[in-house]
Amino acid sequence: MSTGRQILSLSAAPRRARIIVCGGRDYADRVRLFAVLDALDPVEIAQGDARGADALARDWAADRGVPCARYRALWEMEGKAAGVLRNRRMFDSFAPGGVVSFPGGRGTADMERVALEGRVWLLRIT
């Protein structure tokens, strides 16, 4: 079964994949994020190097000894488009198997679109 371009449940999401973790800057449910990533057991993660879900994902990776790539938005150089441009840069450069999305706003929704357009699976945590 192909898992590309699908929104999956946690039970259906592949284990031991390379994943992008995204979510809101105000996302603070450390227990939930850690439980989801523990269940997925990724071999490597990437995140947008912001506060909230990104920071929690960095903490999880450091605690578990999992490689974690950081992709900062270049606000000074790219202005208001920096978050969207960062999401595409991260997706293209990191080449994930899937994206795990925690609650967030427009930037999170954009990363979800990038995942589905890029034909990888998406796990949306609500």
Residue 88: predicted pLDDT:
98
Higher pLDDT, 5 or 110: 110
Per the CB < 8 A criterion, the answer to whether 40 and 100 are in contact is yes
Is residue 1 domain-resident?
Answer: no
Which of 114, 122, 125 is CA-nearest to residue 4?
122
Is residue 11 domain-resident?
Answer: yes
Structure tokens at 33: 């994020």
- Helix or strand or coil: residue 94? helix
State the Cα–Cα distance between residues 35 and 55, nearest whole angstrom.
15
Residue 22: predicted pLDDT:
98
Residue 4: predicted pLDDT:
58
Range of the domain at 39: 7-124
Residue 126: predicted pLDDT:
92
Which of 78, 26, 68 is CA-nearest to residue 48?
68
Is residue 64 domain-resident?
Answer: yes
State the CATH number of the domain containing residue 12. Answer: 3.40.50.450
Cβ neighbours for 65, distance < 8 A, ≥ 6 positions apart: none
Is residue 26 domain-resident?
Answer: yes
Is residue 29 domain-resident?
Answer: yes
**Over residues 100-126, mean pLDDT:** 96
Structure tokens at 91: 């997706």
State the Cα–Cα distance between residues 31 and 110, nearest whole angstrom.
25
Can you give the pTM of this predicted structure?
0.94
Is residue 25 domain-resident?
Answer: yes
Q: pLDDT band for position 3 (50/70/90)?
A: low
How many domains are contained in the chain? 1
pLDDT in tens, 62-99: 999 999 999 999 999 999 999 999 999 999 999 999 99
